[in-house]
Structure 1
Amino acid sequence: MSSLLDVEAFRSLFPGLDGVVYMNTGWQGPTPRPVLQAVERALALEAAAPTAPETVARRLQVIDGAREAVAGLLGAGRDEIAFQENTTAALNAVLWTLGLRPGDEIVTTSAEHPALAVPFLHVQRRLGVRVRVLDVPPEAEDEAIVSCFEALLGPRTRLLALSHVAYGTGRVLPVAALAHAARRAGALVLVDAAQSVGQMPVSVAELGCDFLAFPGYKWLLGPAGIAALWVRRDLLALLSPAYAGARLARDYRLPDLLEPASDAAARWELGTRSVPLLAGLLAAVRLAQDLGLEAIAGRCRHLAAYARRRLAAIPGVRVLGRDDGEASSGLVAFAVEGVDAWQVTASLWEWGRVVARTVGPLGATRLSLHAFNTESEVDLVAGLVERLRRHGPPPHLPSLAMERRAVEDL
């Protein structure tokens, strides 16, 4: 596909979109046909003779191809990429590698997903480090955020850990400026790119970070169960993973010889990897690159701006954050006066089969607008929200309890 994104051609790749208005890619994206087919082919290949030479050759080709593709996506080297089960595992791999000590400080933001916030609190309790929180109101200017961050920096600051895009409001945080300030103070920078990779170009060099993690199953539209961790090359020889697998060792012999490998981030990978999931990830990256990440980003921003305008025009509806133009994303969060956010999300499903997400800490419903979404779908949502304002939610919302559980267990 060309850089002028053909929305209908893109939508045709998603057989699962029939009869559903899917606006929850920020949780998990639908699977396009090329990704599904890549997973099925790899699984079928392994089902017969998984360790036959021809099969092994193909499996190794997939692993190498996926590593090269992810590296290219980030502007990184293949030796800097480690595959992980999910973003949370990747973030924890970094936290427990740094050798944090009592009194060391981690700075994070008030806009973080529990997948990042909870591990910090756990590390604080286990290791005696101090977690400091940079308040990031949805409407705050970038300059104010950077200034407040600089005020939090101290001689014990070891790590700045933050999202590239805030999961609740879609705010693109000024990561590059924050990373510059952190590195001047001698701190490392860890970026959770779960809400950015796949919906916009992401360059680790431009961000200026030291670690970056992202999943395959959100905006990249790959399979669940596979994620990637990028580790800056000059840190590879300085850091030792907290958990060890065979890839940690260049050479070993019991009882006392262990020569660690120090030339690749693959040391952070534990045990057998799922080649079918890596095949799906490879197909997802290729699809995003064929579409053009600039084209995807432009389409997502356009739809988000349109949704903000439509929702903001409804009396009693508050749209969180603001339209930052080129610095915005495809996430839109809103609240309806007098209606609980969980009820809003459930009503969208019950009335219009619209899949959205509740962001409990913000008391808001979030729309994730990918390039396959349409203006007519946004119009449908706006009409349902107007109906909600006039008549209130329906009396029975069976999907409400299901979403509450899914937020915890999926």
Structure 2
Amino acid sequence: MSGRIIEGVSVSWDNIRQCFTLDPAVAHLNHGSYGAVPLSVQRAQQRLHDEMESNPVRFYSVGLTERIAHTRRHLAAFLGADPDGSALVGNTTIGVALVLGSLDLRTGDEIVTTEHGYGAVRLAVEAACARTGAVHRTVPLPLTPTDNEVVTAVTGAVTGRTRLVIIDQITSATARLFPVAHVVAALRAGNVPVMVDAAHVPGHIPVEVADIGADFWVGNLHKWAYAPRGTALFAVAPAWRERVRPLVVSWEQEAGFPARIEWQGTLDHTPWLAAPAGLFTLRTLDLEAVRAHNTDLAAYGQRVVAAALGADAPDGAPGLAMRIVPLPPGLATDLAAASDLRRRIADELGFEVGVNPFHGRGLLRLSAQVYNRASDYDRLAERLPAFLAALS
């Protein structure tokens, strides 16, 4: 990449970090959690905020639903989703809540997830089951399952009472790529609805949502697609579109799907309207070059940090910009300990990383983005072993 113009500034790999407003005193190696909004997108959203505050009545009452629909079509096209069968929502867990609230669960019904599932999704499922008498079945899987192991384990957990299977496309804590299209195909004959949690997919890896064939697919654009936080696309199969109930009934209730899902009165819609600016920035930087840079750098980071810790790090999935490194035994063995360790690494060492427990073992998750350099991971590899040894 050389001489790309963003907001009037010529950007190259040497100065690309100026596209972000991240604290330079911190090494940000955890893009996968909340993303980072480029300055150009921040400015686009600020212009929308200015427009909104200059005349709130006009902003909300004249053409806003059409602007949202136009944005939805733009984002759906990028993801290979049906724009008429998609809705904009705040994040992936909102999409999960919409589905769980539309199933009419009863006592004895079952929802199937895997051990690699996201914690907030697990909590949402457990809350729905407690409320309705349904049963949550969690499929055990090893840290690095093969595609066949994933498909076999998930399909083997399905019974005649299964009302929904939730499967991650890219797992959050363990950074694995799951064969979601194969799971959907395997369950199609039994008419078992499948929801794909694709929180980490948009912008991260190529995707054609329609080809996956899931009943529900939801992915965040504020992680890897440079959108402002609070932007996700929720794609729904035709048979379910009029059955999905909004979390809040609004003036667009009679408009049907997707407007009844998207409209919530005074919700701040500027993150959605600014999201195309994130895709523009991503494409201006060269989407394929960004992905290659991030994938290669994440692999490098995993390699040097694992070597420094003497850890046997699992191979990463091709194309993923997140990698994990097992921590020494006894560290981050549960969620509270993992959260505490992440904070201490940030506060005492100046590195933002992900830390998660899995099967009683702490996992360090490293993400890579264009603002990162190999030297960031070299410095972490130099300082982390002694820090963890002192804790042990």
TM-score using structure 2 length? 0.86
Q: Deviations over 1:358-384 (max 9, x none)?
A: 214552232222233221211111112
In the alignment, what sits opposite 2:92?
A: 87
2:177 corresponds to 1:172: yes
In the alignment, what sits opposite 1:325?
A: 318
Judged with a 3 Å threshold, the aligned counterparts in structure 2 of structure 1 residues 11 and 184 are, in CA distance, closer, same or farther, namely: farther
**1:71-86 paired onto structure 2 within 5 Å:** 71-86=76-91
C-alpha deviation, 1:88, in angstroms: 1.5
C-alpha deviation, 1:9, in angstroms: 4.9
Amino acid at match of 1:281: A
In the alignment, what sits opposite 1:407?
A: none
- Shifted more, 371-380 versus 310-319: the winner is 310-319
In the alignment, what sits opposite 1:314?
A: 308
Q: Deviations over 1:89-137 (max 9, x none)?
A: 2210011112222222211110111221011111111112222112222
Judged with a 3 Å threshold, the aligned counterparts in structure 2 of structure 1 residues 170 and 355 are, in CA distance, closer, same or farther, namely: same
Amino acid at match of 2:47: R
Judged with a 3 Å threshold, the aligned counterparts in structure 2 of structure 1 residues 281 and 318 are, in CA distance, closer, same or farther, namely: same
- Distance, in Å, in 1 between the alignment partners of 2:70 and 2:281 is 14
In the alignment, what sits opposite 1:32?
A: 38
Say which SS state the counterpart of residue 149 (structure 2) adopts. helix
Gapped regions of structure 2 (runs ≥ 5)? 5-10, 333-337
- Distance, in Å, in 2 between the alignment partners of 1:131 and 1:334 is 28
- Distance, in Å, in 1 between the alignment partners of 2:16 and 2:62 is 32
- Distance, in Å, in 2 between the alignment partners of 1:130 and 1:349 is 38
Q: Deviations over 1:294-349 (max 9, x none)?
A: 43332222122212221232254353x422334x4424343135655556534543
Judged with a 3 Å threshold, the aligned counterparts in structure 2 of structure 1 residues 294 and 187 are, in CA distance, closer, same or farther, namely: farther
In the alignment, what sits opposite 2:384?
A: 385
Judged with a 3 Å threshold, the aligned counterparts in structure 2 of structure 1 residues 277 and 343 are, in CA distance, closer, same or farther, namely: closer
In the alignment, what sits opposite 1:367?
A: 366
Judged with a 3 Å threshold, the aligned counterparts in structure 2 of structure 1 residues 333 and 220 are, in CA distance, closer, same or farther, namely: farther
C-alpha deviation, 1:14, in angstroms: 0.7
Count of equivalent residues:
377
Task: Determine what percentage of the aligned residue pairs are the same residue.
Answer: 27
Judged with a 3 Å threshold, the aligned counterparts in structure 2 of structure 1 residues 10 and 62 are, in CA distance, closer, same or farther, namely: farther
C-alpha deviation, 1:270, in angstroms: 4.1
In the alignment, what sits opposite 2:159?
A: 154
Gapped regions of structure 1 (runs ≥ 5)? 251-260, 395-410
Given that residues 171 and 329 in structure 1 are in contact (C-alpha distance below 8 angstroms), is that contact kept between their aligned partners in structure 2?
A: no
- Distance, in Å, in 1 between the alignment partners of 2:203 and 2:216 is 17
**1:47-196 paired onto structure 2 within 5 Å:** 47-52=53-58, 59=64, 62-196=67-201
- Distance, in Å, in 2 between the alignment partners of 1:144 and 1:377 is 35
C-alpha deviation, 1:392, in angstroms: 2.1
Point out 4+ residue stretches in structure 1 off by more than 6 angstroms: none
Given candidates 297, 301, 305, the residue that maps to 1:303 is 297
What's the Cα RMSD here? 2.8
C-alpha deviation, 1:172, in angstroms: 0.7
C-alpha deviation, 1:66, in angstroms: 1.8
